[in-house]
Amino acid sequence: MKSVIHYIIILALVLGVIFLYNKQIGAIPLLLLSVYLFYFGFKIIRDIKNSN
């Protein structure tokens, strides 16, 4: 279930980039995508450290 939500969020942000890129404001969803991926990676690293 979590992976489905993860894919939906990434797909929505990528579609936002495609749609807004033509309007010259594609940096906003790219920034949101980078923040989301940073949080997701940080959460995975934290879980790995806590399991050891």
Cα-Cα-Cα-Cα torsion 35, 37, 41, 46, nearest 10 degrees, comes to 40
Name the token pair of 37.
């991926």
Q: Tens digits of per-residue pLDDT, 3-13?
A: 899 899 889 88
Share of the chain above pLDDT 90, in %: 27
Report d(CA 42, CA 20) in Å as an integer: 28
Q: Is the pLDDT of residue 46 over 70?
A: yes
